Copies of this chain bind each other. A is one copy, B any other.
């Protein structure tokens, strides 16, 4: 069993370490509560040592907020449009005290908005590595705290946009008059669909013009207090889809390739039914595939030994 690569997915709130075998298969995964927001400024070396403890001295590649201003080493963004294979040429090495070198993947920046991503570029590389057709033309959606809508053309990321759907959902539920002081939410698909439909039908005014309905529908007895969270989830996800069509990030009847958490992706799939939009799930483990692909293109990995 030969370890050919160690990959780190190191974001704001998580650190996942992958140990890759001979042909890129993931032999082991470790998850540590060492996101860059959870670490002191001088805590990166220790967290890294813990993540790779006992693993062989293989090349290391890392993506995510670890390369941000508040990360271990700030790595400049690459501006779009940018070919995905340029990520490999732009890795920035960081030598650790134990003599390892961590190669950090740069984030992307769309100067037309402006907009930025760190970590998602590696997921995009992972999707394209597994789907040659997507490399020529694709619309990708990476839902989450900060959802990303990515336009791929001719193997290049043409541009992208961030929508803070997940963060806004959290703010409204935890801190606003709509959600604070409510009982623990209970799943309610009809409340979710009511939110989706209301967002779709909000037209060019947009769903911010309707969000107070979470309160008035509850006062009216139409929405149970335990269903407000699902209503808001539907309203905000529906608004994101409405917005993506209105902004031209996708065209009606486009197929959008989606990458993300299973439960969250299931919500987007349900919401998409109310719109002229097809959403298809990407294969799993896109970050691991992306890390392996970028490291391969960067020639961090020596070719497999022949028998």
Known: A171-B172, A171-B175. A162 touches B114 (CB 8 A): no
- Cβ A216 vs Cβ B116 within 8 A: yes
Give the nearest-CB partner of A211 in chain B.
B164
Closest CB of chain B to A187's CB: distance in Å?
24
Q: Within 8 Å CB of A114, what residues of B? A: 213, 216-217, 220
Interface footprint category on A = 35 or more
Q: Report the minimal beta-carbon distance from A147 to chain B, rounded to whole angstroms.
A: 10
Query: Given contacts A167-B177, A177-B167, is CB(A210)–CB(B246) below 8 Å?
Result: no
Q: How many copies does the complex hold?
A: 2
List which A241-269 residues lie within 8 A (CB) of chain B.
Answer: 243, 246-247
Interface: A55 (CB within 8 A): no
Contact check, B243 vs A209: say whether CB atoms are below 8 A apart.
Answer: yes
CA gap between A223 and B305 in the complex, in Å: 53
A277 CB to nearest chain B CB (Å): 15
Q: Mark A200-230, 1 if CB is under 8 A from B, else 0.
A: 0001111111111101110110000000000
Query: Chain B residues with Cβ under 8 A from A174's Cβ?
Result: 175
Contact partners of A211 in chain B: CB under 8 A: 164
- Chain B residues with CB under 8 Å of A69's CB are 219
Cβ distance A45 to chain B, nearest Cβ, rounded Å: 24
> Which of B162, B178, B204 sits near A204, CB closer than 8 Å?
B204
Pick the residue among B172, B204, B220, B247 that contacts A209 (CB under 8 A).
B247
**A212 with B177: CB separation less than 8 A:** no
Contact residues in B for A164 (Cβ distance below 8 Å): 176-178, 208, 211-212
Contact A243 B205 (CB under 8 A): yes
Determine if A156 is an interface residue (Cβ-Cβ < 8 Å).
no
* Residue of B with least CB distance to A111: B220
A1 to chain B, nearest CB (A): 41
Interface of chain A residues 114 through 173 with chain B (CB within 8 A): 114-116, 146, 161-164, 167-168, 171-172
List the 4 closest pairs (A to B, CB-CB), nearest first. Answer: A204-B204, A206-B206, A205-B247, A162-B212
Q: List 28 A-B contacts (CB under 8 A).
A: A69-B219, A109-B216, A113-B210, A114-B220, A115-B212, A115-B213, A116-B216, A116-B219, A146-B177, A161-B209, A162-B212, A162-B216, A163-B208, A163-B212, A164-B177, A167-B176, A171-B172, A174-B175, A203-B246, A203-B247, A204-B206, A204-B246, A205-B246, A206-B206, A206-B246, A208-B208, A208-B239, A208-B243
Query: Interface on A for B, CB 8 Å cutoff?
Result: 69, 109, 113-116, 146, 161-164, 167-168, 171-172, 174-178, 203-213, 215-217, 219-220, 239, 243, 246-247
